[in-house]
Structure 1
Amino acid sequence: MRAEVLMYDGIAEMDALLTFDVLARARLMGVDVSPVLVTPDGSPEVTGCYGTRFGGLVRWDPSRADALLVAGGWDVDVIEASSLPARLRAYKEQAGPRLLLGGIDSGAVLFGAAGLIDGRPATTYRFDMEYLAKWADVIDARIVDDGDLVTSGSGWLAGLDLALYLVAERLGAPHVAVEIEGRIGHDRRGTVWRR
C-alpha cells in the first residue's frame, strides 16, 4: 500500500507525523506499506499550525496512491482560504474508487468540505463534530470504518489510532500493530464502528 500522508500549510503536525511514524515502523517490520509525505502542488516545504517547517516533501500522485491520509489543522482557515477542498475532490476523482481516504482527527472535515463524504458515517475531533455534521452522519466513535473511508476522532492521538487500525485491519498485520503499540506505549482502545 502506498499511503500518501498529505502535508499543507496549517496542518496539525502531530496528527500527520504520528500516522507516518507508525506506518514507517510497520514497513521496517515487513508490512507492505510505503508512507510518503506529499503536498498537492509539489511544494517541497510547508509550515504546520504551530510554526514547524517541514521539507523534502513530494507532489502527491493519485495514479500511484492506494490511500490518502489527511490530518486536520486550522480547518476553518484552510477551508475558507485555500483551494485544498477542491484539490482533494480532484485527487479522488483521478485516483478512482480504489483509493482509501483516511481522515485523521479533523481531517474528516476537509473531506466533508471537498464533497467526498456527503451523508456517510464519519468521526472527527470532538470539537469539530458539529461542523462535520454539515456533510456527514457523525458517529461518536474512536474509529469509523465505512469501506473506502476510515476516520479517527480520538483527539491528539488520532494519528496513532488510524495508523494502528490500518496496519492491523487493512494491511493484515495485527501482530505488528500490537508490537508497535508496545514500543510507543499506546494501546488501541475505544469504539470501532463498522458498516
Structure 2
Amino acid sequence: MRAQVLMYDGIAEMDALLPFDILARAKAMGVDVEPTMVTVDGQQEIAGCYGTRFGGLTAWDPDNADALIVAGGWDVEVIEASELPAQVKAFKEQAGDRLILAGVDSGALIFGAAGLLEGRPATTFKHDYDYLAKWTDVVEARIVDDGDIVTSGSGWLAGLDLALYLLAERWDAREAAVWIEQRIGHDRRGTVWRRT
C-alpha cells in the first residue's frame, strides 16, 4: 500500500506527522505499506503553520499512490483561495477510484472546496462543521469511511485515528494497529460511520 502524505506551506505539523509516523512504524513491523511525504509540484522543502521546516520531499505521483493523506492547515478562508483543492481534484481524477483520499481534520475542507464531497458524507474538526456543511452532509463521527474518501475529525489526534483505522480496517493489518496502539498509549475510540 503506497501512502503519500501531502505536504504544503501552512500545513498543521501534527496532522501530517502523526499518520506518517504510524505508517512508518507499521512498515518497520513488516506491514506492506510505503509512506512518503510529497508535494504537488516537487518542491523539496515547505514550512508548517508553526514555522517547522520539512525537507527532502518529492513530487506526488498519482500513478504510484494507493492513498493520498491530506492533512489540515491554513486558515479555512485561505483554502478556497488557494490552488490546492483543484490540484487534489486533478490528482484524484488521474488516479481514479482505486485511490483512497484520506482527510485529517480540515483536510476534508480541501476535498469540499475541490468539489469531491458533493452528495457524500464527511467529517472534520468539530469547530469547522459549519464550514464543511457548505459542501457536504457533515457526520458527527470520529471517522467517516465512504469508500474512496475517508475523513477523520477527532481534533489534534485525528492523524493517529485515521492512520490506525486505515491499517486495521482497510489494509488488513489489525495486529499491527493494536500493537502500535499499545506502544503509543492511544486507543482508537469514538464513532466510525461507514457506508454499507
* TM class, shorter-length: over 0.9
Q: Is contact 2:89–2:116 with CA below 8 Å preserved after alignment?
A: yes
Deviation at 1:134, TM superposition (A): 0.6
Deviations 1:14-67, CA, capped at 9 Å, x for gaps: 011000000000111111110010000100001001111100000000011000
Deviation at 1:117, TM superposition (A): 1.1
Q: Secondary structure of the equivalent of 1:68? A: strand
Segments of structure 1 that go 5 or more residues without pairing to the other structure are none
Deviation at 1:81, TM superposition (A): 3.8
In the alignment, what sits opposite 1:71? 71
Deviation at 1:77, TM superposition (A): 4.7
Which amino acid in structure 2 is aligned with residue 109 of structure 1?
A: L
In the alignment, what sits opposite 2:103? 103
Identical-pair percentage? 75
Taking structure 1 as the reference length, what is the TM-score of the superposition?
Answer: 0.98
Mean Cα displacement is larger for which, 69-78 or 94-103? Answer: 69-78
Structure 1: how far apart are the matches of 2:48 and 2:95? 26
Q: Secondary structure of the equivalent of 2:49? A: coil
In the alignment, what sits opposite 2:51? 51
In the alignment, what sits opposite 1:192? 192
Q: Secondary structure of the equivalent of 1:101? A: strand
Structure 1: how far apart are the matches of 2:167 and 2:177? 6
Matches within 5 A, 1:171-182: 171-182=171-182
Taking structure 2 as the reference length, what is the TM-score of the superposition?
Answer: 0.97
Deviations 1:158-181, CA, capped at 9 Å, x for gaps: 000000001101110111101000
Deviations 1:57-101, CA, capped at 9 Å, x for gaps: 000000110001001111425424421111111111111111101
Q: Secondary structure of the equivalent of 1:63? A: helix
Matches within 5 A, 1:8-157: 8-157=8-157
Which amino acid in structure 2 is aligned with residue 50 of structure 1?
A: Y
Which amino acid in structure 1 is aligned with residue 123 of structure 2?
A: T
Deviations 1:124-143, CA, capped at 9 Å, x for gaps: 00011110011111000000
Structure 1: how far apart are the matches of 2:80 and 2:164? 31
Structure 2: how far apart are the matches of 1:25 and 1:50? 25
Q: Is contact 2:76–2:109 with CA below 8 Å preserved after alignment?
A: no
Structure 1: how far apart are the matches of 2:12 and 2:119? 26
Structure 2: how far apart are the matches of 1:76 and 1:121? 19
Q: Secondary structure of the equivalent of 1:165? A: helix
Q: Secondary structure of the equivalent of 2:158? A: helix
List structure 1 segments (4+ residues) > 3 angstroms apart after TM superposition.
none
Which amino acid in structure 1 is aligned with residue 95 of structure 2?
A: A
Q: Is contact 1:75–1:106 with CA below 8 Å preserved after alignment?
A: no
Equivalent pairs counted in the alignment come to: 195
Q: Secondary structure of the equivalent of 1:73? A: coil
Please tell me the root mean square deviation across aligned C-alpha atoms, in Å: 0.9
